[in-house]
Amino acid sequence: MKYWKAALAAAVFASTTVTAVAETVLRLDEVAVGELDPAKASDYADSILMFNVYDTLILPAQGGPGHTGHLAESWSSEGNSFTFKLRDDVTFQSGNPLTADDVVFSLDRMKALGSGLSYLFGVVESAEKVDDLTVTFNLESPYAPFVASLVRLPIVDKKLVMENLGEGDGDMKDWGTAFMSANSAGTGAYSVKSHNPQEETVMVKNADYFLSVADAAPDTVRLRYGLEAATVRALISKGEHDIASQWLPPEVVSALAKDGAQLFTEAGTGAFYFKMNTTKAPLDDANCRLALAHAFDYSTAIKMIAISDDISAGSAATGAIPVGMYGSNPADQILAQDMDKAKEYLAACKYDPSEMDIEVSWIAEVPLEERFALLMQSNFTALGIKSHINKMPWALFAEQVAKAENTPHISQLFVNAVTGDPDTLLYGMYHSSTPGTWQSPEHLNDSVVDEMLDAGRSAASPEDRAAAYSKLNARLMEIAATIYGFDRQSVFAASNRVKAPALTDASKAFGLDGLGFSFRLMEMTE
């Protein structure tokens, strides 16, 4: 009894600080729940998991255009087929060696599951094993961005997955989805130690990784989900958290920066869009859309995302394509509010402004969007148009946009080119053949746009592609299906315990969202 009391007292009064351990821990957070199955990966949290637990055949080159080999040593193309030679020194975390079978299996699985970013591989007819370390992809039609899209084909451990098939119909049963949503089956520099979709995923360094990894790279990584902004802010201040998600409101990021936090940036391959439903009155009239696009206060929008004097979560938009991509307009040709023009267009619109009631939606998980909704509402009020704001959780939004009639008048979205190529940014958004997805709440059906998009993806030379996208850009501005808010740059507040060259040094940046969070390239300083 006495011992018990003493022990309790000792425990209560014991310091709660961490006992010193040699192991380094990196702690970061993401808003959404991380999906561990790479075939289902689509958003930022999924990408972080995927790029660390799995590897891809190639990677974007750091600090410039082009791609370098990763799991593949080299590749060549002939017409519509691409052949990759695999490295011979790669083993999965399970110990199984990497072979061409795994690559074929990975593509088949991706296509069979049909979720996540599998649409990128719709054009791939088949993958064939040539020998143990050689694989060939055959395309149905010319597709210029194919190599780029391979950064979204994580290679999974066929043998391990086949040993762990769950319940399901057919030969492949569930394709191992039950297993893969809780376990890692990759070659990556980090393996999953535990995965709790509500709380966090814990990853540990893979000692047998095929590339050499700096000792300073974190031994353990904790990816936490769904933390409140105030929580993240306090945790970083107290040194209990390392990298905040990009969804932290700018005020909080700037408060952290004032307290001495460093800022990481990942430069834009995407933009912030206000997407107008082109099938719903009054926005089915281009004049109305143009009126709204001209009424929008672009310069205030930029002010809203400023974090410090020199860092902002974005830069002024110049047109439909973010600066730096094929077909983009020069950086100084920025969009600006023009109320006179807006009124002209409104007058030309066939609908009576006094009868309009525009539904402006915003994604519940991204509080910043509420402010843009308010900004739009006040801009539209200045034009004499009534509007109302509707907050939507992401899942509900993704469901509602499937049907044009359920899609709100205006949807706010951050969209990134998932492979860094404009095709992956724009095709899914605007081509009339793509079904309604969260990327395409415009439900656009425009033959000129379709034509340019097709030309852009099949053109052989970069110059031809640039010309096609330039024309596309002009057409998109003409029909104003979308208000282009700003070109996006992700900003992350981080503690000073961590160095991430890929997120601070432009010459080391990958130009692909999430890849900057390759933990093997980070260094812990304490």
Partner 1 sequence: MKRTLIILLRNPLSLLGVLLVLMVIVLAVFADFIAPFPDHKGAVVDFVYFNQAPSDRNLMGTDLVGRDLFSRIIYAYRISLMLGVVVLVISVPIGVLAGLFAGYRGGKTEFVLMRLTDVFLSIPPLVLAIAMMGVLEPTLLNAMLAVTAMWWPWYARLVYNVARSEREEGYVLAAEVIGASQWHICFREILPNCLPAVITKMTLDMGFVIIIASSLSFLGLGVQPPTPDLGSMVAEGARYLPDSWWLTVFPGLAILVAVFGFNLIGDALREILGAEQ
Partner 2 sequence: MSAVVQLLLRRLGISLIVLVGVSMLVFGIARIIPGDPARIALGPNATVEQIAKLRSSMHLDESIVVQYGHFIKDLSRGDLGMSLYTNRPVTLDIAEFLPATLELVIVAGLLMIGIGLPLGRWSARYRGRLADHVIRLVSLLGVSAPSFVWAVILMLLFAFFLPLFPIAGRISDTYTIERVTGFLLVDTLWAGNFQAFSNALWHIVLPAFALALSGIGQAARLTRANMIETYDKPYIEMAQAYGFSGRRIANRFAFKPSLIPSLTIIGLDFAAMLGNAFLVEAVFAWPGLSRYGVAVILRKDLNAIIGTVLIISATFLLVNLIVDLLIAFLNPRIRHSQRQTS
Q: Which residues bind partner 2 (CB under 8 A)?
A: 7-8, 10-14, 16, 18-19, 25, 27, 33, 114-115, 119, 181, 196-200, 222, 226-228, 230-231, 234-235, 238, 240, 364, 393, 395-396, 398-402, 435-438
Select from partner 2, partner 1, none the partner in contact with residue 173, using the beta carbon and a kind-dependent cut-off of 5 to 8 Å.
none
CB 149 within 8 A of CB 421: yes
Going by C-alpha positions, the residue among 342, 345, 348, 316 that lies closest to residue 330 is: 316
**Which residues have C-beta within 8 Å of that of residue 387, sequence separation ≥ 6?**
356, 357, 358, 359, 360, 376, 377, 380, 381
443 and 279 Cβ atoms separated by less than 8 Å: yes
What track of x and - describes contact with partner 1 for positions 247 through 266 (by CB under 8 A)?
Answer: --x-xx--x-----------
Q: Which is nearer to partner 2, 379 or 407 (CB)?
A: 407
Among 128, 174, 338, 370, the residue binding partner 1 under the rule CB under 8 A is 370
Q: How far is the CB of 178 from partner 2 (least distance, A)?
A: 9
What, of partner 2, partner 1, none, does residue 525 touch, CB below 5 to 8 Å by kind?
Answer: none
- Work out which of 364, 366, 466, 474 binds partner 1, going by CB under 8 A: 364
Q: Which of 68, 74, 381, 496 binds partner 1 (CB under 8 A)?
A: 381
Using CB distances below 5 to 8 A depending on partner kind, what does residue 389 bind out of partner 1, partner 2, none? partner 1
Minimum CB separation from partner 2 for residue 84, in Å?
27
Q: Which stretch binds partner 1 (CB under 8 A): 28-36, 142-150, 246-254, 461-469?
A: 246-254
Whether residue 418 contacts residue 427, with contact meaning beta carbons closer than 8 Å, is answered with no
Amino acid at 364: A
Q: Is 230 an interacting residue with respect to partner 1 (CB under 8 A)?
A: yes
Contact pick of 62, 387, 400, 412 for partner 1 (by CB under 8 A) = 387
How many angstroms separate the most distant Cα atoms in the chain?
88
Amino acid at position 244, single letter: A
For residues 379 and 384, what is the distance between their CA atoms, to the nearest angstrom?
A: 9
Burial state string for 355-387 with b = 16 or more CB within 10 A and e = fewer than 16? ebebebbbbeebebbbbbbebbbebbeebebeb
Shortest distance, position 378 Cβ to partner 1, whole Å:
5
Given the complex with partner 2, which of 7 and 506 has the nearer CB atom? 7
- Cα–Cα distances in Å, from 526 out to 134, 218, 219, 259? 42, 10, 12, 19
**Number of residues engaging partner 1 in binding (CB under 8 A):** 27
The torsion angles phi and psi of 186, rounded to 5 degrees, stand at -125, -175
In the bound complex, what is the minimum distance in angstroms from residue 331's beta carbon to partner 2?
34
Q: Give which of partner 2, partner 1, none residue 11 binds (C-beta under 5 to 8 Å, depending on kind).
A: partner 2
87 close to 98: Cβ distance less than 8 angstroms: yes
Q: Does the protein bind partner 1 through residue 432 (CB under 8 A)? A: no
Distances (CA, A) of 112 to 119, 126, 149, 176, 485: 11, 12, 17, 12, 36
Q: What per-residue string of b and e applies to 4-35 under the rule 16 or more CB within 10 Å gives b?
A: eeeeeeeeeeeeeeeeeeeebebbbbbbbbbb
Least distance between partner 1 and beta carbon 349 (Å): 21
Catalog residues that contact partner 1 under the rule CB under 8 A.
Answer: 228-230, 233-234, 249, 251-252, 255, 300, 303-304, 364, 367, 370-371, 373-375, 377-378, 381, 387-391
